[in-house]
Amino acid sequence: MEIYEMTALQVAEKIRNKEISAVDAVESVAKSVEKREETYNCYASFDKESALENAERVQKKIDAGEVVSELAGVPIAIKDNICEKGKLTTCASKILYNFKPPYNATVVNELNDADMIILGKANMDEFAMGSTTETSYYGATKNPWDITKVPGGSSGGAAAAVAADESIVALGSDTGGSIRQPSSFCGVTGLKPTYGSVSRYGLIAYASSLDQIGPIGKDVLDVTAVFNIIKGRDVKDGTSMVSEVFSLDDIKIDSLKGKKVGIPNDYFGEGIDEDVAKNVLSAADTLKSLGAEVEHFDMSIVKYAIPTYYIIACAEACSNLSRFDGIKYGYKSSDTHNLRDVYFKSRSEGFGMEVKKRIMLGNFVLSSGYFDAYYKKALQAKGLICKAFNEAFDKYDFILGPVAPTTALKMGEGLSDPLAMYLGDIYTVMINIAGLPSLALPCGFDKDNMPVGMQLIGKPFDERTVLSAGYAFQSVTDFHKKKPNLV
């Protein structure tokens, strides 16, 4: 087995045991990137030289017997909206084509402190706006299972990099499903943590009340190990909070006896593919076989999920993206004659069409004539969604559902029918609205051999429960071990 095919914990163990070095791990992944990147386009930027320098530094610490983390020396890709000092961080947008942050995001400092090796910036939908990773300034990322299909988005580059063995693990961000949906489409495991459990300092914002950084890996244990490194209170992020401390051993359970699982009937109505529904319900039977009590219940608030999410997200996006004006940093139009030209032409030329649409929608719902009709009502609906989850968690330990109503779309299909692309987020956006943790993991395949993903939704700051349930599921299934036929 090549190093790049291993899990993060396997790589780390071999480094600790002196069977391989951190440099070997980076060289192995770089070899895979050089072979496959032209096909899959997982990276916005890949910095082999810097990664090797860091690997040599980490290896010296290991050789000297210094205390290292359980993932020391493991290569990791980070999404292109997470700031890294002196490294291109562009949000896959022309308007930030030359932006090199003067500081690190908190999660980058935490990865460095844990002696993980950052490989580069994973490709993404521009400013995280999209569900296909086709709106990137760097071109579309391809799904490793079928290059005629999308990897999902907006963290499509991160998920595809893990699936294509172009990274061992990755960090993505999730505003309305952007970790879970690409994890589902690419057959890997991804965690959207509770809002506030991981610092957002240094994450270039899309929608500040919804964004959350989280890990993507080959299995639940890898995801848990990375989550344990990046979680926790950060004085630079006023919304961050202290999370429960738990180890890998704490989630290694073989029984779900005593756990009660809820399945919303509304997740299995019109619009869901038969193969997706069948595989998720089959996963429910597996949870039953592990001792869990499974029960269906009604959650009619689902029908308000999409409009509520897009109103809130676009309203916050138009405010957050107002800082990109051609003055302070990033792209500035060369065809300007006055201040108005600088603003108008720099933003018109720098932003892609999807971003412009969402800025316009955000300004519309915040305008004086429509604020009460749209934005205020969306905030009221948000309250109802949070209440619905609170009531569900009075009865259930966690909730099971599909990640997306379909498996991976054909390239171009989502862009040609934006409404269909937006509706594809119907099962994921409510979790961000309510700020809950959700674990996405593979649970089967459709008739075209494309991965199907399910999600386990937990109570606030109860990542331990969903990760434990995910571990128990992966202990008796092998969907997460199946690999695409890579180039």
**Residue 240: left (phi > 0), alpha (psi -120 to 50), or beta?**
beta
* Active-site residue, 240 included: no
Distance CA 405, CA 134 (A): 19
Question: At residue 114, what is the residue type?
Answer: A
* Active-site residue, 243 included: no
Distance CA 471, CA 436 (A): 19
Q: For tokens 């999920």, what's the residue?
A: 305
Nearest to 172 by CA among 142, 217, 130, 137: 217
**Residue 483: left (phi > 0), alpha (psi -120 to 50), or beta?**
beta
Nearest to 207 by CA among 160, 154, 150: 154
Burial label, 61 (beta-carbon count in 10 A; 0-12, 13-18, 19+): middle
* Active-site residue, 208 included: no
Copy the structure tokens of residue 42: 């997982």
SS3 percent helix, strand, coil of the chain, rounded to 5, is 45, 15, 40
The catalytically annotated residue of 93, 131, 154, 173 is 154
Strands (E), 278-391: 293-297
Copy the structure tokens of residue 362: 């955000």
The catalytically annotated residue of 32, 131, 178, 197 is 178
Distance CA 137, CA 95 (A): 9
Question: At residue 279, what is the residue type?
Answer: N
H helices present in 231-302, as ranges: 248-251, 274-289
Distance CA 67, CA 339 (A): 55
Give Cβ neighbours of residue 252 (< 8 Å, ≥ 6 apart): 468, 471
The catalytically annotated residue of 79, 87, 149, 345 is 79
Catalytic residues: 79, 154, 178
